[in-house]
Amino acid sequence: MTNFLAVERALRTAAPHDLLHTVRAALIEHFQAIEVELLMADYSLTVLQPVTALPHTAEPLPVQSTSEGRAFGSQEPYGQYASREGAIDLHVPVTVRGDRLGILTVRMPEDACTSETVRELADVAELLGHEIVVAERDTDLYLQARRASRLTLAAEMQWQLLPARSCARPEYAIGAQLEPAYDIHGDNFDWSTTAETLTLTVTNGMGEGIQASLLTNLAINALRNARRAGIGIADQAALADQAIYGQYRGREFVSTLLLSFELGTGWAHVVDAGSPQLWRYRDRRVERVEFEAQLPLGMFEESLYVAQEFQVLPGDRLVFVSDGVYAAASAGGEAYGDRALAKAIQAAGLLPAAAVPRAMLQELAAYRGADSDDDALVLCLDWFGRPATN
């Protein structure tokens, strides 16, 4: 643990842009590391991008079919013999509260790679992840490292709105993904938790490009402003509705599904204000959960919203999808939501929540082909329930 504390002290005092150099020097000094590399998952979660000096020149590694990708997918350290005799490359997930950022690869002598060392390096990787999240307030280095290609301005605005792409607590685990990752328009998601509640929103804004992104930005921030005032989700919807109508006078509106879960009981209050759908996977059975449809936010002046209730049980998986998913059509014209969506949810049944959206969006891409350019959003919520206390 003394070695870990030395690395921790070094990282805590490192400049935001210098985290990799600092952790590399500390691991060489305290863990007999030979080489150290940091790879960041790109926005589409298909490749791992090496963090290098700008401009980036190192080749990305695919998440599929690589040892680094195996560690990223399993979220477990994975070691392999390096080309140099007597050395091991240890690939350790860099993850913060369930949000998968990338992989820390440490090459070290085989005899130094003990079980205790692996545990300490896992702690180092988690610490590095926290420091990266903090450093992103002051440097673009790690955000740039995630980009396999340039984001459109609309996509830049949308990604900056997101809380993360996954998170985990004892009561639940969440994973979410937007596509096309580098050219998204109006789809978005948001969540926030307290000691007793989880608030979740899934949003589908009108239009394309900058206009769609501006509309969604207004909607998300209006909902956050209302939520942070401490009011219920029906009033959150009403205040956001007023903000959007006040700006667009009904010309533009936002379809939103709002939910507030009680962590202790699994009871949820729901406002269904538009097109996002909820599907439930329970006891190996997939079914759509339907609510009373209410007006999208901003369609009419001073709309009233009423929250409905339903209960989620331990072991339930909830999958939220935008119309870019369930309304997508095959070459033969069959809507994805008719049958294929349920099959995709079942096929991903053994995957953790963080991996489900990527798997489902890959299935969707194969189903609809390359012709569609509509946004697609998938969010997966696995509900574990609150552990019993003695």
Q: Which residues contact 53 (CB under 8 A, 6 or more apart)?
A: none
**3-class DSSP state for residue 299?**
coil
The whole-number pLDDT of residue 53 equals: 74
Count of beta carbons in the 10 Å neighbourhood of residue 382: 22
- The answer for residues whose C-beta is within 8 angstroms of residue 366's C-beta and 6 or more apart is none
Tens-digit pLDDT profile for residues 5-31: 999 999 999 999 999 999 999 999 999
| Contact (CB, 8 A) for 363 and 344 | yes
The dihedral sign for the CA sequence 302, 303, 308, 313? negative
Distance CA 71, CA 103 (A): 8
pLDDT of 248-267, one tens digit each?
999 999 999 999 999 999 99
Contact status, residue 375 vs residue 183, Cβ threshold 8 Å? no
Helix (H) or strand (E) holding 24: helix 19-31
pLDDT single digits (tens) 35-78: 999 999 999 999 999 998 766 567 899 999 899 999 999 999 99
Q: How confident is the model at residue 25, as a pLDDT? A: 97
On the 0-12 / 13-18 / 19+ scale of CB atoms within 10 A, 139 is middle
Give me the mean pLDDT over the 157-168 stretch: 94
**Whole-number Å distance between alpha carbons of 381 and 268:** 13
Which amino acid belongs to residue 28? I
Asked whether the beta carbons of 102 and 41 are under 8 A apart, the reply is yes
3-state SS, residue 60: coil
pLDDT at 45: 94
Is the confidence at residue 390, as pLDDT, over 60?
A: no
pLDDT (0 to 100) of residue 380? 98
Q: CA-to-CA distance for 351 and 212, rounded, in angstroms?
A: 32
On the question of pLDDT at 286 being above 90, the answer is yes
Confidence (pLDDT) at 54? 67
Tell me how far apart the alpha carbons of residues 134 and 261 are, in angstroms, rounded to a whole number.
28
Q: What is the pLDDT of residue 84?
A: 65
The residues, ordered by sequence, that sit 6+ positions from 85 with a Cβ below 8 Å of its Cβ are: none
SS3 content of the chain, % helix, strand, coil (to 5): 35, 30, 35
Question: What confidence category does residue 372 fall into, taking pLDDT thresholds of 50, 70 and 90?
Answer: low
- 96-145 per-position pLDDT tens digit: 999 999 999 999 999 999 999 999 999 999 999 999 999 999 999 999 99
Q: Are 171 and 143 in contact (CB under 8 A)?
A: no
Residues near 110 by Cβ (< 8 Å), separated by ≥ 6? 81, 86, 87, 88
Locate 146 and state its tokens. Answer: 């995630």
Mean pLDDT of the chain: 93
Q: Are 322 and 204 in contact (CB under 8 A)?
A: yes
Span 203-249, pLDDT tens digits:
988 888 899 999 999 999 999 999 999 999 999 999 999 999 999 99
What is the percent of the chain with per-residue pLDDT over 90, rounded to a whole number?
Answer: 83
Please count the CA atoms within 13 angstroms of the CA of 18 that sit on its side-chain side: 9
Q: Which residue has better confidence, 332 or 47?
A: 47
Pick the closest to residue 324 from 202, 161, 200 (CA basis). Answer: 202
Give how far the C-alpha of residue 266 lies from the chain's centroid of Cα atoms, to the nearest Å: 22
Say which residues have a Cβ less than 8 Å from residue 320's Cβ, sequence separation at least 6.
189, 200, 202, 257, 276, 277, 278, 279, 377, 378, 379, 380, 381
